[in-house]
Amino acid sequence: MEPGSPRDAEDARLRPTYAVVSRSRLRDNLAAVKALVAPARVMVILKANAYGHGLEAVARCLASQADAFGVALVEEGITLRQLGIENPILVMGGVWTRQIPLFLEHGLTFTAPSLARLRDIEEAAAARNATARVHLKIDTGMERIGVHHYHAEGLLEAAARSAHVEVDGIYSHLSNADADDLADARHQLERFEETLRFYERRSLPRPQRHIANSAALLRMPESHLDLVRAGILTYGVYPFPGAPRAVEVKPALAWKSRVVFFKVVEPGSPVSYGGTWSSDHRVRVVTVPVGYGDGYFRSMSNRAEVILRGRRYPQVGRICMDQVMVNIEWGTGYNGDEVVLIGEQGEARVTVEELAEWAGTIPYEILTAINDRVPRLYEG
Ligand SMILES: *Cc1c(COP(=O)(O)O)cnc(C)c1O
């Protein structure tokens, strides 16, 4: 079957555990972000399998709306080009020198994080008589990749002069856009703006400037500049608890499974590895075929809840690699009943934020951890 094409949840080739991604929610979320930041443009971030939503399907779904795409790896960019995606694609990770020719072959935009790397890019482009499209990366405080803002001038100068490099953009990344106190983020933005004065001083055309991620685009309108890099918001998840609802977005992904086993557990009979949970009265316990081997974190053991027949029930005992147990007390549950791990059923809802809390992590990690064993279905 073609990647990203709709599949039927009743397809016998499909295991009972799957994720459903709503294309209409993706489109609506992006439209809401675009409306908020206009006239700034929006680069949709598709790294890590589009935050677990499926790289190919999400790219196809959003190609006509997105001004550009951002990925972490050149391989991700190549996959998009092979699908026929024509939007500009920025590879945001550092360039591994041996992979430079791949960028040129596939028309991908480089991140140039240092003068040395710019030279490598330039040399490879010159050898092919090609023009490399680059975004210069300025480190204003993240200390990850990029030239320090106080040493950036040489990179800007060399890039502006290079015959084989087209400077299409210049960017930086905020390390604290989700913090209670925005002083750090504002400071980074100031340093970035200071770096950008180079173009005025030299009367050179200024490339498109970008610094905002989801948190900054919600909280700091002054950070929108020419382009924003919208990741998690596109997927309908707010970047941190208590993020301002400056745009209304809805989660695009639901994660579902089904009851595959039902039993009654006697008082004092511990459930699952290590016997970490038992009941002091008879209970009904169902087994659901999902586990940490799918990205349902073991650290959520005895904390997670799932929805069955419109009600939330606790997951009990250790989460196994492929299965989990759920205590439905004396509630009703039959083999084949739908179990919602993330999403809604009736009035009940379980959010990716809750899973993050149970696992002691952030929604980003929950979403990107849902792995290839979990088929994705697309609707809308
Ligand atoms: C992942 C990433 C983003 C997107 O961040 P969100 O918080 O998901 O919006 C933006 N910029 C860079 C450099 C990134 O690596």
Please report, for the domain that includes residue 263, its CATH number.
2.40.37.10
Residue 98 domain flag: yes
269 and 224 in a common domain: no
45: Cβ below 6 Å to ligand 1? yes
Q: What is the pLDDT of residue 372?
A: 95
217 and 150 in a common domain: yes
Residue 20 domain flag: no
Give the residue from 97, 91, 179 showing the smallest Cα distance to 137. Answer: 91
**pLDDT band per the 50, 70, 90 thresholds, residue 283:** very high
Q: What is the mean pLDDT of residues 151-167?
A: 97
Alpha-carbon distance of 365 to 51, in angstroms, equals 9
- pLDDT greater than 60 at residue 325: yes
**pLDDT band per the 50, 70, 90 thresholds, residue 366:** very high
- pLDDT greater than 60 at residue 160: yes
262 and 188 in a common domain: no
- pLDDT greater than 60 at residue 101: yes
Q: Which atom from ligand 1 is nearest to the alpha carbon of 173?
A: 13
Alpha-carbon distance of 224 to 39, in angstroms, equals 9
136 and 82 in a common domain: yes
Question: Ligand 1, atom 8: nearest CA belongs to which residue?
Answer: 231
Query: What does the pLDDT look like over 10-51, one tens digit per residue?
Result: 777 789 999 999 999 999 999 999 999 999 999 999 999 999
How many whole angstroms from 234 Cα to the centroid of ligand 1?
11
Q: Which atom from ligand 1 is nearest to the alpha carbon of 239?
A: 7
Residue 248 domain flag: no
Residue 240 domain flag: no
Active-site annotation holds for 51 = no
Q: Can you give the residue range of the structural domain that contains 169?
A: 39-235
Give the residue from 220, 215, 254, 217 showing the smallest Cα distance to 238. Answer: 215
Contacts of 142 (CB under 8 A, 6+ apart): 172, 173, 174, 175, 188
Q: What is the residue-averaged pLDDT of the chain?
A: 96
229: Cβ below 6 Å to ligand 1? yes
Q: The CATH number of the domain where 229 resides is what?
A: 3.20.20.10
Quote the number of domains for the chain.
Answer: 2
Tell me the sheet residues that pair with 378. 21
- Among the three residues 235, 269, 292, which one is the final residue of a domain in this structure? 235
Query: What does the pLDDT look like over 124-155, one tens digit per residue?
Result: 999 999 999 999 999 999 999 999 999 999 99
Residue 17 domain flag: no
313 and 213 in a common domain: no
213 and 132 in a common domain: yes
Distances (CA, A) of 276 to 86, 245, 285, 286, 316: 52, 39, 15, 17, 8
How many whole angstroms from 230 Cα to the centroid of ligand 1?
7
Residue 336 CB burial class (10 angstroms; 0-12, 13-18, ≥19): exposed
- pLDDT greater than 50 at residue 2: no
163 and 52 in a common domain: yes
Count other C-beta atoms under 10 Å from residue 148's C-beta. Answer: 15
CA 160 vs. chain centroid, Å, equals: 32
Q: How many residues does the chain have?
A: 380
Residue 115 CB burial class (10 angstroms; 0-12, 13-18, ≥19): middle
Residue 320 domain flag: yes
Alpha-carbon distance of 371 to 315, in angstroms, equals 21
Tokens coding 274: 């290590």
Give the residue from 84, 19, 25, 31 showing the smallest Cα distance to 368. Answer: 19
289 and 262 in a common domain: yes
Q: What is the mean pLDDT of residues 69-73?
A: 98
Q: What is the pLDDT of residue 98?
A: 95
